[in-house]
Structure 1
Amino acid sequence: MQSNRDPVLKFTEQREGGYSCRRDDDGNWTGGRRGRGRLVGSMRGISAPEMVCWTGLSPDLVTVEMMRSITPDLYRRIATAHYWNPLWCDHLPAGVDLMMFDYGFNAGVHGALSVLASIYGSLDRTDVMTEQLLSRVLTVPEIVLSRMIAGDLAREMQRSLHVDADGVIGPVTLAAISEKQLENLLTIYALGCAQERAYRQMRGWVANGTGWLGRLHQRVEIAAEWAVAAVRPDA
């Protein structure tokens, strides 16, 4: 399957931005919790604990200078090793790869796989991707996914298909999906709805919820564009 790694990683890097050193952000502390270890910040979304893991150094040896020196190339290497590869993004359809990677970078590999597994009522392991879970992603019946899509994202998908945007994914919407061979849109929007629910349950929702939802809707929009382009290259 064609890899979208470069544009996916670029999207996430742009959304994460540069250096940040908020005291209330667990990821800025080398111990992974506010007040634990040293406050050294994060860079391009690479957290202090992640840098500890990447370098193999003691948390006391990871410094602000080290964090500030994370280059685009180092970001790509860490992001590929810690997120892209564990999530098997090379094996995912266009658009689905963005949905999984960007959310995983934001919420962790376990968080991304837990949300993915929840769509299928799966009891698979959620610390690593499995062949069983991947096969479900690629073959799950449309009617199962349609039940997972509701609210604003359902209406957004219907508008893109030029059907009545009533928020109910029924026979008319599914017929439009089938006619245009855009079955992967169902996975993208089902993931979007599931990821939104997960965001709302996170500890940082009050402080970060608006930004998380803005990022979610942007990645759904771009993921959907990629899914359409994969079917209609000239679209």
Structure 2
Amino acid sequence: MARSRFDICLDEVLRQEGGYVDHPSDPGGATNMGITHKTLARWRMVSPWWNLPKSAVMELQRPEAAKIYRASYWDRCNAGQFPVGLDLALFDFAVNSGPDRAIRTLQAELDVAADGQVGPLTLGAVESYARRKGLGTLIGALCDRRLAFLNRLPTFATFGRGWTNRVAAVRAAALAAAGTTAPTDTITLWRTIMDIFNGYKTYIVATFMLLAGLAQLLGVDLPALDGSSAGHLIMEALAVLFLRKGLKGDIGKA
């Protein structure tokens, strides 16, 4: 009996998610096969969610995890209606960052109303896009937008390498399943690079100020910064760096 697209895509998702983890920097807390403590509690109708012991997360089995993935992610995204390959790219994005964000990101690329709902308009736009530019281009563009979003998250410094590798692996698997490739689009590539740097521009400027101040302390003459003392540059740079870090931490806790 042929396996369904859901089962095939779930294999890839679980390959990326791994087993039980409880990383202190992960806002999801205890997680098993990608299912968080809170998600499992809601699925089992335990309220408040923290009344479900962590041991339940650790003991979660694949059949139950599969039911959660199908109901809360695959069906929520209507992934079964998408072309082979794009279904995986959207499904894994939804698991990693939430169905609403994954759908809205796809809709933004399709240039249709980003309402977070998959209906005839979105499905028709997918068909039209694939016909004009190729399915591989759409898969690549969705993965590019996903990676740009991840790069802007405060926790990218901790989880960025894993996320980047995950998107690359899912992109390759999705393109292989679709039997196509994603052409190199200079404009899309440049947009992605700029999106990545956009989240770090404050750090870049502050680092430049810090280096300039240290250079002046060492006696290096920098005419362009004439009038700015080394002490002021260093203090302002440190203030910017620590203020931004504090703001990101507060936003993450909100």
* TM value normalised by structure 2: 0.66
Q: Does 1:135 align with 2:86?
A: no
Q: Aligned residue for 1:7?
A: 8
Q: Does 1:203 align with 2:136?
A: no
Q: Aligned residue for 1:179?
A: none
Q: Does 1:109 align with 2:99?
A: yes
- Taking a change above 3 Å as real, the CA distance of residues 55 and 141 of structure 1, as seen in their structure-2 partners, is closer
Q: Aligned residue for 1:170?
A: none
Q: Aligned letter for 2:31?
A: S
Could you tell me how far apart the structure 1 residues matched to 2:147 and 2:25 are? 22
Could you tell me how far apart the structure 1 residues matched to 2:144 and 2:26 are? 25
1:48 to 34, 37, 43: 37
Aligned positions of 1:153-232 closer than 5 A: 183-228=134-179
Q: Does 1:24 align with 2:25?
A: yes
Q: Does 1:91 align with 2:81?
A: yes
Shift of 1:203: 2.9
Q: Count the aligned residue pairs.
A: 177
* TM value normalised by structure 1: 0.71
Shift of 1:3: 4.6
Could you tell me how far apart the structure 2 residues matched to 1:196 and 1:75 are? 25
Q: Aligned letter for 1:19?
A: Y
Query: Higher relative CO (CA 8 A, sep ≥ 6), structure 1 or 2?
Result: 1
Q: Aligned letter for 1:16?
A: E
Could you tell me how far apart the structure 2 residues matched to 1:122 and 1:110 are? 15
- The structure richer in helix per residue is 2
Could you tell me how far apart the structure 2 residues matched to 1:112 and 1:218 are? 17
Runs of 4+ in structure 1 deviating by more than 6 angstroms, as ranges, are none
Q: Which moved more, 1:198-207 or 1:89-98?
A: 198-207
Shift of 1:98: 0.6
RMSD (Å) for aligned C-alpha atoms: 1.8
Which sections of structure 1, spanning at least 5 residues, go unmatched? 29-40, 146-182, 230-235
- Taking a change above 3 Å as real, the CA distance of residues 141 and 19 of structure 1, as seen in their structure-2 partners, is closer
1:124 to 105, 114, 124: 114
Aligned residues with identical type, % of pairs: 21
Q: Aligned residue for 1:77?
A: 67
Shift of 1:121: 2.7
1:32-61 deviation line (CA, Å, top 9, x unaligned): xxxxxxxxx111000111112101111232
Q: Aligned residue for 2:193?
A: none
Larger radius of gyration: 2
Which sections of structure 2, spanning at least 5 residues, go unmatched? 181-254
1:60 to 31, 50, 53: 50
- Taking a change above 3 Å as real, the CA distance of residues 142 and 197 of structure 1, as seen in their structure-2 partners, is farther
Cα contact 1:3–1:90 (8 A) shared by 2: no
1:188-221 deviation line (CA, Å, top 9, x unaligned): 1111211111111223212111111101111111
Q: Aligned letter for 2:124?
A: S
Cα contact 2:37–2:57 (8 A) shared by 1: yes
Cα contact 1:103–1:112 (8 A) shared by 2: yes
